Structure 1
Amino acid sequence: MLSRTGSILVPFFVTWLLGCSLLEPEPLLLIDGRGYDPRPPEALAGTTPEVMDAWLGQSIDFHLLYHQAQRVLPDLYRRYLVQALLEAETASVRLTNQEVMNYLHPRYGRKVAELDLRRAAHILLPGDASSDAGGQEQVHREAEALHARILAGEDFATLARTFSRDTTYDRGGDLGYLRRDAVVKPFGDLLFSFSELGQSGVVRTEYGWHVVRCTGTNETFRAELFDQLLKEKKRRLVAHLLERLREESTIVMAKDFERVGL
């Protein structure tokens, strides 16, 4: 009985093995039982055996580190793969002129090349217009003293949070990007006399004395705008990708998730 069964099974088993070998060729490399087919780059074609041996050694080293990363840092490994996927999916995203115009027109009413903007930060020391000359001069001296500290290298935002009496104090005096006609004339005249980042000065307006610093120019505005719009476009693409993946996938949540409010 056993011999007859064996006589039937052995040919079948051999046929099965042969079939497997035809359908799935033996991998070129086995590491911990896992098969790999490392293919040398075309640049190595026809090189010496020593060069090929060195390349194969590097390939083995890579796969050893690859599996060690999976074992030791599984979460980081998964995050890296997801990040690599998102970068690959969004690598070809580009902005069109129309997309830029759609953003600019309702806000500025003109093309980016026609904009003349400065980004400013300021420290406001209020001065009562009705106060005497001595009182005004005291506030002026305080503003100049703060400006001297800034020129000496102290952090503008820190000084603004400490001394400014404007509502922008909590964000380091940042006023954002401004058009010249959006601010009072003395302030605008000083701000738009700056052509480089970091330039600063002191000016008096109807609101008091301002220590003003240029923190952005037309060039930085364009760079920040394009970066912002490009990131938003990539986020939309990723959202569409996730929507498609959810539609194509069957997702079943275990009842245990109910205990954690999911």
Structure 2
Amino acid sequence: MTLSDSAYCIIHNGTCMQHYPGCMLQIFSLELAKIPMDGGSVELYGYIAVRDELDPLLNYVVNFSRDEPIVIEQGSLINMAGPKRGIDMMDYALIEYDMRIKSGEQEKDDLQLQLIDGASIIGPAGLWCPSRVRITGGCGAIDLILSRLENAVEATVEVLISEVQSSFSLSLGCLTSGLNNEIRLFDGAIAESCCLKRSVVAVVLDSLIDLKFKLGSLLSSSDLHCCYFKSKTHGHDTQEIKTDFALISVKVTWSTLPGAV
């Protein structure tokens, strides 16, 4: 959200003449594609992160500690905690990863079950449709669905859940820029008023992001609510969704990346 405030911009006919959209990398999903076990679930921990030209620090996509691994089966999606900011693709980006299967009392016991460990370079050339990239390691593989988006801006999605009437399950998916690949922003249970984690999505300028809220409980069928936001270079937009379970307040903050100045 670095350049979300347009107070000092040069605006002409509603368009900022100082800050421009750029090329961004969007990761749509991560899937545990292959594990050494036949059937069953495993405890998975570690990280997948990106470095780009804007910031040499790791921009985590997932990051699970050994003390709090995720329990997951082969073929299942891995919930993404990030990225925390938009990923610049004007130049090369580096994807780093170290994912392991917890198998013993101590970390040294997991070395023989190191799923993936290393780094991959993603180049800026060409326009990509959403593509599947497989990262293969000594004990398995993880599939990434990703795409490079031209003329894109950063959307930071914030969701507040209030006036909770009863516990319910919530699945929040997002479609961006007219593409059919859904990004899972949240999947879990809601028992009281709370703020969901911030989510950052790349959106082609003047296109839409579509947020899909699927709510349900043991006593009722699933209830689907959608809201749409048209992207822009600066500022923010808000919407409220009143449901039988709770009031959902959505705020989307728009920003170009600093490198596109």
TM-score above 0.5, yes or no: no
What TM-score do you get using the length of structure 2 for normalisation?
Answer: 0.25
What TM-score do you get using the length of structure 1 for normalisation?
Answer: 0.25
Which structure has the highest helix share of the two?
Answer: 1
Greater CA radius of gyration, 1 or 2? 1
Q: Higher relative contact order at CA 8 Å, sep ≥6: structure 1 or structure 2? A: 2
Which structure has the highest strand share of the two?
Answer: 2
